[in-house]
């Protein structure tokens, strides 16, 4: 016998979703009305995505209804998330560019590197990445000029053709291949993860609950404890167990140690700081009882202030 679908698994129209939120989940419509919810769910977002932002609100064990969750909370978090993703993507694109600049410059100054052999060896060990590069050359019209280099790609060619994830693999391979120290390599996993979430338009602010089995970046954590005296060790260590906050902290550190343009850093960090001080807290009173969200904001804001100096 087929398992009967629960209401949360059924296809519901907008009116049914509002009734489900109100009657089954205990969601209120004080900050945003039901009429607004109908418009929002019809024109701007959809319930399956929006429900991710309810993760930081408790449910009553007996009834399964949320405690203190208003539809306005979901709208506000989704809106802040949209702006935040755009800023993260901007920072990581800048970071990608300057990592490429560093790699090409180091290649040019490396007397042991002809620019070709390391790429050939890399492709031998990563044939799937070579296939991906080949497809990129033939499918992307902007890279048409690279077709003539297909049989013999150099470092300065490959940096233009690799996805960010594959580029970081090559970046790591290059420095290990020539035994050149590069501190930021150990932090790439966090940067890749954050960039991937932003680039794929996934929900970033879905949960601020610490994961006790999460392997956070201990080196960055120690650096924060040394540099940010406004946060207690307990707050820092707890925040770094939240994957998003860990990755955000790591990315900011890598960003500020990698970019060589002080002007770009200053402008971008000012934009990020303004966002934290303006749009992000526009409706902060709504979240007065949301301890995990407030703690996450405080931690992230102290980071931003530190790098925006």
172 plus 298 within the same structural domain = no
Residues 217 and 162 in one domain: no
Q: What is the pLDDT of residues 136-186, one digit of tens each?
A: 776 655 555 555 555 688 999 899 889 999 999 999 999 999 999 998 899
> Quick one: 302 and 212 in the same domain?
yes
Asked whether the beta carbons of 119 and 155 are under 8 A apart, the reply is: yes
Domain shared by 87 and 146, yes or no: no
Out of 163, 179, 195, pick the residue that ends a domain.
179
Long-range contacts of 92-96 (CB under 8 A, 24+ apart): 92/164, 92/191, 92/194, 92/195, 92/198, 92/199, 92/251, 94/255, 94/259, 94/264, 94/268, 95/191, 95/251, 95/254, 95/255, 95/258, 95/259, 96/164, 96/167, 96/195
pLDDT digits (tens, 9 = 90+) for 194-237: 999 999 999 999 989 999 899 999 999 998 988 888 888 999 99
Domain boundary among 179, 195, 228: 179
Do 157 and 253 fall into the same domain?
A: no
- The arithmetic mean of pLDDT across residues 117-139, rounded, is 88
Confidence band (pLDDT; 50, 70, 90) for 14? very high
Would you list the DSSP string of 274-285?
Answer: HHHHTGGGTTGG
Residues 254-290: tens digit of each pLDDT: 999 999 999 999 999 999 999 999 999 999 999 999 9
**Cα Rg of the chain (Å, integer):** 23
> In the structure encoding, which two tokens stand for residue 228, read together?
């940010």
Instruction: Looking at the structure, tell me whether residues 172 and 233 fall in a common domain.
Output: no
**To the nearest whole percent, how much of the chain has pLDDT over 70?**
93
160 shares a domain with 219 = no
**What is the share, in percent, of the chain residues with pLDDT greater than 90?**
79
Residue at 214 is within a domain = yes
Across the chain, what does the average pLDDT equal? 91
* Structural domain contains residue 60: no
Give the model's pLDDT for residue 1: 46
1 within domain boundaries: no
User: Which residues form the domain of 23?
Assistant: 12-51
pTM: 0.91
In the chain, the number of structural domains is 3
Mean pLDDT on 276-305: 96
């Amino acid at each position: 016998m087929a398992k009967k679908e629960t209401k949360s698994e059924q296809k519901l129209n907008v009116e049914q979703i509002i009734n489900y939120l109100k009657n089954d989940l205990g969601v209120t419509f004080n900050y945003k009305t039901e009429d607004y919810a109908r418009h929002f769910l019809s024109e701007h977002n959809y319930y399956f995505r929006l429900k991710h932002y309810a993760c930081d609100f408790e449910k009553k064990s007996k009834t399964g209804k949320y405690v203190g969750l208003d539809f306005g909370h979901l709208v506000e978090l989704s809106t802040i998330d949209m702006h935040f993703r755009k800023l993260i993507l901007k920072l990581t694109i800048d970071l990608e560019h300057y990592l490429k600049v560093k790699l090409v410059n180091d290649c040019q100054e490396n007397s042991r590197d002809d620019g070709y052999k390391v790429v050939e060896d890399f492709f031998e060990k990563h044939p799937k990445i070579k296939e991906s590069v080949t497809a990129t050359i033939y499918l992307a019209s902007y890279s048409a000029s690279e077709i003539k280099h297909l049989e013999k790609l150099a470092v300065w060619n490959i940096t233009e053709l690799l996805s960010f994830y594959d580029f970081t693999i090559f970046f790591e391979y290059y420095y290990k291949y020539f035994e050149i120290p590069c501190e930021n390599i150990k932090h790439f996993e966090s940067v890749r993860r954050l960039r991937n979430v932003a680039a794929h338009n996934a929900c970033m602010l879905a949960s601020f609950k610490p994961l006790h089995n999460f392997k956070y970046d201990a080196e960055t954590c120690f650096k924060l404890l040394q540099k940010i005296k406004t946060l207690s060790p307990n707050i820092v260590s707890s925040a770094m167990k939240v994957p998003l906050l860990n990755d955000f902290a790591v990315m900011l550190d890598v960003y500020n140690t990698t970019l060589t343009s002080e002007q770009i850093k200053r402008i971008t960090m000012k934009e990020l700081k303004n966002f934290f001080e303006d749009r992000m807290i526009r409706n902060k009173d709504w979240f007065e009882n949301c301890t995990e969200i407030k703690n996450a904001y405080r931690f992230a804001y102290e980071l931003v202030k530190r790098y925006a100096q």
